[in-house]
Amino acid sequence: MARRIELSAPVGVRWEPDDPVGVGALVLGGSSGRVDEQRARLLAEQGVLAESIQWFGGPEQHDGPWEIPLETFAARAESLAAECDRVLLVGLSFGAEAALATASLTQAPVDGVAAFAPSDVVWAGVTGDGRQTSHWTLDGAPVPFVRFVHWEPPTDPPAYRDLYARSRAAAPEDVAAASLPVERIPDVVLVAGDDDQVWPAREQAEEIVLRRARHGRATSLVADPQAGHRAVLPGEDVVEAGQRMCRGGTADADRRLGSAAWPALLDLVGSRA
């Protein structure tokens, strides 16, 4: 069991376990901007002190995922570190990018990252007036990012995978500058569906694996050829939040990927005997 506590600055929720295992986790949702309460609660049931925060669209925050200070996440990691022996970041999509960026670019006390539908680079965020800028800032400056090329969606609802692939191919120098130094992160678990239609998560995950391998770092990659953007962990409900888009996968494959990822996540937490 776990006790639920509402957070206010930033808005979010904390789940405090009855039997803590000395691990804290910050859970970050993606482009929907939602607080990922389900995943935080699941981790708390495993003894993890788990938080999830709203990182855009809240009080005194930007209205979209652009120029978000990485210090927002680093501060929560530092707060968890004051109460726990180990701190993990668990993110989905843009939240996975945030987790990997925070763990690799800041001095936050992060021991491991679980990245669902991850990215190996920082991508552009688009403001309300159409300006492209970085998803993140550090010390007040935008983190180098990959810009989007001009693109019109060929499907309805749109599948953005092709946009990301084209943008990456068009700017190899920007990709190099925006690549995250993921080798700095002690432990990484990656979860990706090959049929992800939001962005090429499996290919981006493979880039993370290769970069870490070049630096002697092992990485756990859990994938499924038929799964889409959102893996569903055991005990989670399917989430429908976020903008209208094609996410790929099937209900069965997304749950299968989540079931395969769960043991790897427990290993990262350290709660499996």
Q: Which is it for the CA torsion 219, 165, 29, 55, positive or negative?
A: positive
pLDDT at 241: 63
> Where residue 1 falls among pLDDT bands split at 50, 70, 90?
confident
Q: Report whether pLDDT(271) > 60.
A: no
Residue 186's nearest CA partner among 132, 119, 108 is 108
Q: What is the CATH number of the domain that holds 80?
A: 3.40.50.1820
Please state, rounded to an integer, the average pLDDT across all residues of the chain.
Answer: 95
Q: Is residue 192 part of a domain?
A: yes
pLDDT at 155: 87
Helix (H, G, I), strand (E, B) or coil at 273: coil
- pLDDT tens profile 14-29: 999 999 999 999 999 9
Mean pLDDT of 19-45: 95
The continuous run of DSSP H or E covering 95 comes out as helix 94-105
Given this model, what pLDDT does residue 273 score? 40
141 in a structural domain: no
pLDDT at 231: 97
Q: Which pLDDT score, from 0 to 100, does residue 154 have?
A: 87
- Grade residue 33 by pLDDT with cuts at 50, 70 and 90: confident
Confidence of residue 204 (pLDDT cuts 50, 70, 90): very high
Nearest to 197 by CA among 238, 156, 152, 160: 160
What per-residue confidence (pLDDT) applies to 239? 76
Is residue 82 in some structural domain?
yes
Cα separation, 246 vs 37, in Å, equals: 23
Report how many domains make up the chain. Answer: 1
Q: What was the pLDDT predicted at 243?
A: 77
pLDDT tops 80 at residue 197? yes
Domain that holds residue 200: 2-122+180-269
DSSP 139: T
Q: Indicate the angle between helix axes 71-81 and 94-105, nearest 10 degrees.
A: 70
Task: Kindly state whether residue 49 falls inside one of the protein's structural domains.
Answer: yes
| pLDDT the model gives residue 32 | 85
Instruction: Provide CB contacts within 8 A for 66, sequence distance 6+.
Output: 56, 125, 126, 127, 133, 134, 135
Mean pLDDT of 105-127: 98
Provide mean pLDDT across the span 217-221.
98
Interval 62-100: pLDDT, tens: 999 999 999 999 999 999 999 999 999 999 999 999 999
Query: Looking at residues 188-215, what average pLDDT do you find?
Result: 98
Q: What is the pLDDT of residue 272?
A: 55
How far is it, in rounded angstroms, from Cα 221 to Cα 204? Answer: 11
Is position 91 within any domain? yes
**Domain contains 130:** no
The answer to whether residue 168 sits within a structural domain is no
Residue type, 12: G
Give the whole-number percent of the chain exceeding pLDDT 70: 98
Asked if residue 151 is part of any domain, the answer here is no
Q: Which tens digit of pLDDT belongs to each residue from 230-260?
A: 999 999 998 776 678 899 999 999 999 999 9
> What would the pLDDT profile of 128-153 be if each residue is shown by its tens digit?
999 999 999 999 999 999 999 999 99
